Structure 1
Amino acid sequence: MTVTYDFGGKTAIVTGGSRGIGKAIAVQLMLSGADVWIWDADPLPLDGAHCQTVDVTKAHQIKDALAAVTAEDRRIDIVINNAGYLGSYRGFDAFDPTEWQRIVGVNLMGVFEVTHQVLPIMRKARSGRIVNMGSLAGKEGLPNLAAYSAASAGVIAFTKALSREVSDTDIRVNCVAPGPIDTELIRRLGNDVVNDMINASPLRRLGSADEVAALVLWLCSDASSFNTGAVFDMSGGRARY
């Protein structure tokens, strides 16, 4: 069964939207009628979408990109904080501090930076949907991904806190926490690591980016009006709570 939504007249921003999960979300939003703006540090053209070069850790780049989005009195209806950096798969004591600082910078501080600038626009309209992409790592703490786990846990806590701050409006803030999804990000870890991930999953496979996107679109729709501050697993049964 194919589930469809009507996002006609809605403006959506997808960070990290040029590849993987972000691209799948951007495509499905476009197919549902949304005006999609992709913010990516290394953008790739996508027919039907506006693609801007934005490093989510740079406040001035976000400000400039946002000015273009809000031209002609556009509202911001949907923000998908998807930009992420996994980093190396290794023990924490082997990490160079500059790498874990980048992991935290992109995955957590980037969510702060984007949301901090977009939220006043949503507050003015008293409506909007914010979906923060976390990770199974943020719920369970995965070995050899300590910094990524910590950043993802921060995204989860931030989602819960912010949702309560805006609960007097029609702004809904939720988090999706995928387990291993079949993307270039995961495949770069190597076959041995990927096979271990598959074997640890009750469904014995990686998820697909389109499966994650389908959940995200539901959270952006009116069908999800009573969900806020929630964390939705996308782990094939691997998550234990």
Structure 2
Amino acid sequence: MTVTYELGGKTAIVTGGARGIGKAIAAQLLNSGAEVWIWDADPTPVDGAHCQTVDVTKAHQIKDALAEIVADNSRIDILINNAGYLGDYRGFEAFDPIEWQRIIGVNLIGVFEVTHQVLPIMRKVGRGRIINMGSLAGKEGLPNLAAYSAASAGVIAFTKALSRETCDTDIRVNCVAPGPIDTELIRRLGNDVVDDMIHDKCQPAQAPWRGG
């Protein structure tokens, strides 16, 4: 049975939407009739979508991108916080603090920054849908990806908290925490690392991470 959605007339933002999971989400939204705006630090054209260069850790870039959308359409119905950065696969003690700060910045602070500016627009019309992309790493914790696991756990907790803040409105906030998805982001770890994580050396047996 094919599940279909009718999103004609809806406006959606997908962060990290130029490739991987984000691109697939954008395509599904487009197929469902939504007007889609892709935000990506390194955008590539996606047929039918508007593409903007946005670093989700930069509040001024978010503000400028939103201004363009609001000028075209005064409402935002759907926000998909998908932008992610995995970082290196190494033990925590070997991490340069600059690296784990970037991981936390993109995966967690980026969600804060984008939501902080989009949520008031949703509140003005009294409705909206926010979906935050986390990872099973945030529930289970993954060796050699400690910072990524911590960021994902933060996304999960933030989603729960914000959903309670908006429960008196028609704004719904949810989190999706996928397991292993074969994307370019994940394969940057190296095929041997990925294969080991999936087949043998990760507890639980299904590797708890995603690729944005």
Whether TM exceeds 0.5 here: the answer is: yes
Mean CA deviation greater in 178-187 or 15-24: 178-187
3-state DSSP of counterpart to 1:178: coil
3-state DSSP of counterpart to 1:102: helix
Match of 2:32 in 1: 32
Match of 2:107 in 1: 107
**Alpha-carbon distance in 2 for matches of 1:207, 1:138:** 8
3-state DSSP of counterpart to 1:79: strand
Match of 1:132 in 2: 132
**Alpha-carbon distance in 1 for matches of 2:132, 2:26:** 14
Alpha carbons of structure 1 residues 204 and 98: separation in structure 2 relative to 1, 3 Å = closer
**Alpha-carbon distance in 1 for matches of 2:128, 2:17:** 19
The Cα offsets for residues 79-135 of structure 1, whole Å up to 9 and x where unpaired, read as 000000000000011011110000000000000000000000111111100000001
Mean CA deviation greater in 166-175 or 198-207: 198-207
Match of 2:77 in 1: 77
Are the equivalent residues in 1 in contact too, given 2:135–2:152 (CA < 8 A)? Answer: yes
Match of 1:91 in 2: 91
Q: Work out the number of aligned pairs and report it.
A: 210
5+ residue gaps, structure 2? none
Are the equivalent residues in 2 in contact too, given 1:182–1:207 (CA < 8 A)? Answer: no
**Alpha-carbon distance in 2 for matches of 1:24, 1:112:** 23
Partner amino acid for 2:158?
Answer: F
The Cα offsets for residues 58-96 of structure 1, whole Å up to 9 and x where unpaired, read as 000000000011114431000000000000000011011
**Alpha-carbon distance in 2 for matches of 1:130, 1:136:** 19
Which segments of structure 1 move beyond 6 Å, counting only runs of 4 or more?
201-209
Match of 1:120 in 2: 120
Partner amino acid for 1:94?
Answer: A
Alpha carbons of structure 1 residues 207 and 92: separation in structure 2 relative to 1, 3 Å = closer
**Alpha-carbon distance in 1 for matches of 2:210, 2:113:** 28
- By how many angstroms is 1:198 displaced? 2.6
RMSD value over aligned CA atoms? Answer: 2.1
- Which aligned pairs between 1:54-73 and structure 2 lie closer than 5 A? 54-73=54-73
Are the equivalent residues in 1 in contact too, given 2:137–2:209 (CA < 8 A)? Answer: no
5+ residue gaps, structure 1? 213-241
Partner amino acid for 1:99?
Answer: E
Alpha carbons of structure 1 residues 139 and 205: separation in structure 2 relative to 1, 3 Å = closer
Identity %: 81
Partner amino acid for 1:50?
Answer: H
**Alpha-carbon distance in 2 for matches of 1:167, 1:136:** 25
- Which aligned pairs between 1:151-162 and structure 2 lie closer than 5 A? 151-162=151-162
Partner amino acid for 2:90?
Answer: R
**Alpha-carbon distance in 1 for matches of 2:84, 2:185:** 9
**Alpha-carbon distance in 2 for matches of 1:203, 1:77:** 37
Query: TM-score of the superposition, structure 2-length normalised?
Result: 0.94
- By how many angstroms is 1:204 displaced? 7.5
- By how many angstroms is 1:197 displaced? 3.0
Match of 2:47 in 1: 47
Alpha carbons of structure 1 residues 33 and 101: separation in structure 2 relative to 1, 3 Å = same
Are the equivalent residues in 2 in contact too, given 1:16–1:41 (CA < 8 A)? Answer: yes
Query: TM-score of the superposition, structure 1-length normalised?
Result: 0.83
- By how many angstroms is 1:190 displaced? 1.4
**Alpha-carbon distance in 1 for matches of 2:210, 2:163:** 27
